[in-house]
Amino acid sequence: MLIVREMEIWNFNLRHLRAAVSIGRLGSISAAAQAIHISQPAITQGIVKLEAQLGQPLFERRTDGMIPTDAGHLLFPRIEAALAQIASPRVTMTQLRALIALASAGSYAEASAATGLAQPSLHRAVGDLSVALKRKLVERRGKGVALTEQGRRTVRRFRLAGAELDAGLSELSALLGRETGKITIGAMPLSRARILPAAVAAFHRTHPDVSINIVEGAFHELIEPLRDGDIDLMIGALRDPSPGPDITQQPLFEDRPVVIGRKDHPAADNEPSLEALARYPWTIPASGTPLRDGWTKMFDARSIPLPEVPIECGSVITIRQILIESDFLTLLSPDQVAVELEAGWLTKIAEIPKEFIRNIGMTTRTDWRPTAMQAKFITLLEAVSKSD
């Protein structure tokens, strides 16, 4: 019997997957054969092969038809979601894999090295896919190739299809008592200081076989991988307004930053006013981030001219060193520089007005359906947020 966690989605035949969901929906091979225009013998052979690959039956065979097993009930919605993203019965798994590999690698040579597929096979698969979809997917640029706008949109849908199939395999693995799988988390700066390490450590203690991949970055670096399905969820400061209808934001807790400077900063012992703080240079993230927007509103609301910002920076490590070696000020959560505050390298210069807070939370795709394992992590994340 094959172990589901060792399977890759590329081993499957999309026609077999399409046949399986058709049988699950219609209740018989004959009805499915009519619906998807594949012969009954071909569907029968395809389902047998698919069940052998998965290592468990998808149907209970009865005289009155085919009834999905628990495995079928888990897998079929994932397959249907994947096929909806692919949106064409003419696409093959080889073509899907070839386009994703080309998009990720940037060239046929690198895609060949990454997948082990020969370059001529990749060329042919991408070319055939372009014909099947009746759209230009790649174009020559100098000695290389680049995706067209239609190609980029197609790659995103294909990646989301792959994410659904991966999730389906993870759920089948859990059904067999092997709770494996992967959670990929986009970590923005504040989440890395407190909430995420606590949640990950607690989750790993109870789910040691689940792989957790943490991708660090700013919001603008993480949002497109989230939309592509390469990241499952992001944790950090929420955006107002929302990034779009395809994105869902869930608040976890409120964070109130404070003004931070070096331990012997001239303003350290004077309980300075905002007017006094505006006389010093600041280092702060770029415009468009919640922290920078809140910082701007803080001064604007009191009609205080904005301080100079000679250095725009979102890296806490870099900001720390700038503060230690100068009279610069910044706005950060105490959690982000807890070690530096405890060591006496930095100090809290002033509180900020109570109305200026950040909502820290979780960002996901609106249509994302977490696996049971991923849902457990979210529940733990919520509990850590409330207890901290």
Q: CA-CA distance, 72 to 125, in Å (whole number)?
A: 30
* pLDDT of the residue at 1: 31
Structure confidence at residue 193 (pLDDT): 74
Exposed / middle / buried, residue 131 (Cβ in 10 Å: 0-12, 13-18, 19+)? exposed
Mean of the pLDDT values across residues 141-156? 91
What's the mean pLDDT in 43-51?
Answer: 96
- What 3-state DSSP class applies to 159? helix
- Return the pLDDT at 388: 61
| 102 or 1, higher pLDDT | 102
Q: How far apart are CA 266 and CA 58, in angstroms?
A: 71
Residue 194, pLDDT score: 78
pLDDT grade, residue 141 (50/70/90)? confident
- Note the pLDDT of residue 2: 31
Does residue 207 contact residue 373 with C-beta atoms inside 8 Å? yes
H or E segment to which residue 150 belongs: helix 149-175
Q: Give pLDDT, residue 240.
A: 87
Under the banding of pLDDT at 50, 70 and 90, the label for residue 216 is very high
- For position 328, what pLDDT does the model report? 98
The pLDDT value given to residue 343: 94
Question: Using one digit for the tens of pLDDT, what is the confidence trace for 78-101?
Answer: 999 999 999 999 999 999 999 999
Share above pLDDT 70 across residues of the chain, in percent, rounded to a whole number: 98
Segment 240-250 shows an average pLDDT of: 94
Backbone angles phi, psi at 205, to 5 degrees: -65, -35
356 has a pLDDT exceeding 90: no
* 352-370: average pLDDT: 91
DSSP assignment of 186-255, as one string?
A: EE-HHHHHTHHHHHHHHHHHH-TTSEEEEEE--HHHHHHHHHHTS-SEEEEEPPSS-S-TTEEEEEEEEE
Pick the more confident residue, 7 or 136.
Answer: 136
Per DSSP, the residues of 319-349 read HHHHHHTSS-BEEE-GGGGHHHHHHTSEEEE
For residues 176 and 56, the answer to whether their CB atoms sit within 8 Å is yes
Average pLDDT, the chain: 92
Whether residue 144 is predicted with pLDDT greater than 80 in this model: the reply is no
Judge whether 165 and 74 are in contact, CB under 8 Å.
Answer: no
Please say if the pLDDT value at position 14 is more than 70.
yes
Stretch 124-148: mean pLDDT: 92
pLDDT, residue 111, reads: 93
Report pLDDT digits (tens) over 219-235.
Answer: 999 999 999 999 999 99
Q: pLDDT band at residue 7, thresholds of 50, 70 and 90?
A: low
| Mean pLDDT confidence for 209-217 | 92
pLDDT at 234: 97
For position 6, what pLDDT does the model report? 43
| Whether 198 contacts 125, CB under 8 Å | no
**Model confidence at 269, in pLDDT bands (50, 70, 90)?**
confident
- Is the pLDDT score of 165 beyond 60? yes
